[in-house]
Structure 1
Amino acid sequence: MTHSGMKAGAAGMAPDGLSLFRGATPTDALLRGHDWAHSPLGLPQRWPAALRMSVSLVLDSPVPMWLAWGPELTLIYNDAYAPMLGSKHPGAQGAPLQRVWSEIWSDVAPLLATAMAGEGVHREDMPLLVDRFGAPRPAWFTFSYLPVRDESGVVCGLVCTVWDTTEKVTTQRRLADHEVAVAEGRLEQAEMAERYRLVALATNDAIWDWRLADGHVVWNAALGALFGHPQAETSAQWWLDHIHPDDRARIDADIHAVIAGTGTAWTGSYRFRRLDGSHADIFDRGYVLRDDEGRAVRMIGAMLDLSDRKATEAALRASEQQFQTLFERMDEGFCVIEFLDGPHGPMSDYIHVSANPAYLANAGIPNVVGQKVREMVPDEAEGWVEIYRRVLLTGEPVRFERELVATGRYLELAAFRVEPLERRQVAVLFQDVTSRHRAEVALRELNDTLERRVTAEVAERLKAEDALRQAQKMEAVGQLTGGIAHDFNNMLAVVISSLDLLDRKFLSHDARAMRFVDAARNGARRAAQLTQRLLAFSRQQPLKPETLDVNKLVAGMSDLLRHSLGGSLKLETVLAGGLWRANADPNQLENAILNLAVNGRDAMDDLDGDGRLTIETANCHLDERYAADHLGLQPGQYVMIAVTDTGSGMSPEVMAKAFDPFFTTKEVGRGTGLGLSQVYGFVKQSGGHVRIYSEPGQGTTVKLYMPRQLGAAAEDEQAQGAAAALHGDGRELVLVVEDEQAVRLMSVEALEELGYRVLETDGAEGALKLIDAHPDIDLMFTDVVMPGMNGRKLADEARRRRPDLKVLFTTGYTRNAVVHNGVLDPGVHLIGKPFTLDELAARLREVLDAPD
């Protein structure tokens, strides 16, 4: 038994020890109310493990069983056995076995002595003259005695499995008398049939009557009750066919040997197939009836189902084996000590009479059997003797912890007296808990600083909760942004397209009117940029990540950065050698760096040209511990881009809100509060991480961590050939699919202005009809978000019909039709709303001129 198993058993014991009698049967109730304190067995909580396990086995058994334990063989029995006691029940419960069965003691005493000597006993149909109802009467019993040993291997009791076979034996005797009467011709046919019927009804055995001339067999009702077969009549071959194949030939040969000979009795053991396919263990007896010339004419017998008995015997054998192996295999140390009188007085020493192998593992002392404690550990023996002597004299078990100084082991021990007191023995169960004891000491030391540790834990939890609230806030704003982006961008598309067409068609020579058009166009573009930044923050902009050399990208931005910062500030770049490739959208990364640079410039306005902006790159590994403190971050390798300024810095309160959309510390007109929000959204959408380090008056560092690109770097694509003309040639046909009428009209006007022939429709159904009707359509220009079939599904269906058809998508909000996980699907061409006429012209030529 494992250590955990022993603990579970101890924990499950009720304080009064009555958990053994936990059932709801009359016997359990009787045992719970028994006066065990005045019984030779004593209180149940002091019973040894072997006795407790044996009692559980008896009470849980469905067959009649009893247990006799101790010098007086105190009797404990189950519900199934109670009817066999007759009027002796319930007084027999807890009484000495000899007093209960005094009238047959001379018959069974030798058998009991054999079992108590360690040898099992089995008897079939043993006759006994028993007094169960006030007068002696003959009875027959089939029973088995099995010895039960304690933890040291000593036989302390026995378990009996018993069946009252009186009815079976008397029935068989009546059947035998009946056969003799038949042989002597003393019974009429009707009387013979009636007696056979009564015999068949009076027994639980499966009675069979085999007519040998034609193999016809008649059965009583027990065939169905025991084995499930409903037949009342079968053939002898049916019976043979239901015998297990491994037993069939043997039984067939044995029974026919008796039939062919001169004998009358046959017995056999075999396995018989039940109706459900399982096999019963059978003991079968048959009697051959012969005619005057000795020929066998009939055979009558009874099948006894021994399945339950064999199962019980197997359980008992397993229990015996468990008792035998428990002592050897348990993880806890176990020993039995016996007190001795010595030079220090009566019972002043004790000797180890038995010990299991785990004794050495837990106590660290080998070969203790036969050793006295004052010889083993002379310096501490007095303390051990005092504890165990008190257990012996009082009979009260004890549980305690104590250090075994000789080996430096700290032990958890439980001790109880081995009954009776005259044996002067105590059983000790223990385990090495040195590691646990040291941990408890360390824990007590840690508890001295409990307040500080609790404060730190609370701070960490608050930090995690703040991070979660921040993430939820960002998500909520992102959902709001995505919800308005589509309609807002559609409106801006109409405005910008209208202004572009107004410029190109009507006002190109009116300078005064153009100033108003340019002002309106600039306002619309700023509104579009604002929407784009909101989409970036909400991580809903379509990205086109590439394998990226960040050092090359930063170096290529030098002129742009110097122009944006002005000549009064110093710009430094510290680019790491051997920098890993990153996986990011280069345009969006440039925008992010530029945003950070402009923020740094604004923070250094008061330095009169003494400010310094530093852009640094490095390889970084963010480990699991760091990632655990930052919600949503995956541990791994990253390329770091740090932008540091020597400006005014931020307070902790400002840093906590720095990434919030529309939050800004600048005066009105100098910022929308979306720059850092756009950076935050882009980095998070790219699978990266962003962190701000700042103190008031000490400047600010913003670090971007972009995921490292693993695998071979892709070659830079080189533009080939001269740029094509941005206008159509008047022959190319474009199909416009847009559900918003105003946007559709502006798109048609714009395409015609750019030199394209145009067809238009407001949805997918009309688009597919036009595609079927006009095989000369070169390109489909379709919105992504439309009622019914969206643009992506429309494109898939159109290309199924026209594989060579070019498609350019447009949308103010991508959702998940052409962008997944924030990345534009491969092979998809997209122009975001709103767009200018020049942007539309360039994208059209790019798609039309691309190779198939």
Structure 2
Amino acid sequence: MTSEDGLYRQFVEASADCMKELDRHGVIRFIAGMGSSALTSEEPERLIGTRWVDLWPPEAHAMVTRVLDRALSGERVDFVAPRPSATGASRWWEVMVAGVVADDRLDHLVVISRDVTERVELQAAIESINELLQERLNETVARSATASSRYGSLLERFESEHGARRDAENRLAGVSEQLAMATHARDLAEASARQAQKQQAVGQLVSGIAHDFNNMLQTVIVSLSGLEDDAADLLPRHRRMLTYAMEGARHATALTRRLLAFARNHPYQAEPVDIGVLVEGFADFARHALGGRVGIEVLRQPAPLPALLDRQGLEQALMNVCLNARDAMEGFGTVVIEVGERRGDPVSASAMRDSETPRQVFITVADTGGGMSEEVRHRLFEPYFTTKPGGSGLGLAQVYGTVAQAGGGVEIESDAGIGTRIRLVFPHYAGPLESGG
């Protein structure tokens, strides 16, 4: 197994999501990710061969069956539902189900599940507090109106009796005190909600830092891996230093996994992005990661090329595609990245979430390797399918998941002896772009 493949496997296994592949009958063929540990007290791999619908409680079977039927018809389906965890406690899951098209037919399904229990419980708590405060406020207002009415009647009836007047005034004072208590309770509830939001923001910040650190760590490991390939040419002292560096990189990988476990997940953060600007910035980074014998050439249309997607996820997907291109060229040659816009066509639209979108933006990564056979091309995005000795087969599966999550599709063109072109296609975003793309 190469260092890059090991890193891909670590990336998927460190994910807080639960990633599954189902066949056309809804049977699990692949499962990975830290979220999968919530499904069973045993090894998650033991769930392979199990029907996905059987992982849900009986009352949810009809709903899950409808979801599978919609996904098999080519629709991307998103839903949120509860299910018991391995410990018996009920957890809420945000689930995305999408089909994978191969040879003009739907070949299998990809399921990405994310634990959102804390978010659901926080929303329910806030709604419960608001309802309670509204009830208390209504009761207080009603008592206040009643007390005011009684006070008026007492003044008319016992105008000359100071004792009755003092009694009415005391009742009004009690109502005012109750109003003040209700206001104080509402302020405390709002402060509690703000504190919960701050804690959620801290978790998101830690998750973002962990993912950025993971991207930088990838460059370090790729560079050290290149040195390991030429370790025989190094002095003994330098080989020891290289060993120390690789050990430090492994410790850093473990640290990333702990940070992700603490933050629980990295939420999908879609934002308007000019993919032309993004690819140019990515190319500067990738030239160092791919090694000195592999060049990168960027061909970009001058106009803005906006898409709504997760910037970090797209950069990781591009790195996976470029590393595969480098391996296909055996570490020598030029990777050409073309960025542009086109009108939608039936082939790409069938794999995209919004088939009505006429305009599309795309990123094409082309290499000059040996190409691939028809069989390999049809299985390219299957998790753990690889043609490399010891490879993990997870890199391109992550690419497909990232593009599908943004509502896009992936196209492959490969000619034996000429090379391969992998095209990531996204719906054109019609909204405004912030400054900087």
TM-score interval (norm. to shorter):
0.3 to 0.5
Give 1 or 2: higher helix fraction: 2
Under a length normalisation based on structure 1, what TM-score does the superposition of the two structures give? 0.22
Q: Which has the higher contact order (CA 8 A, sep 6+)?
A: 2
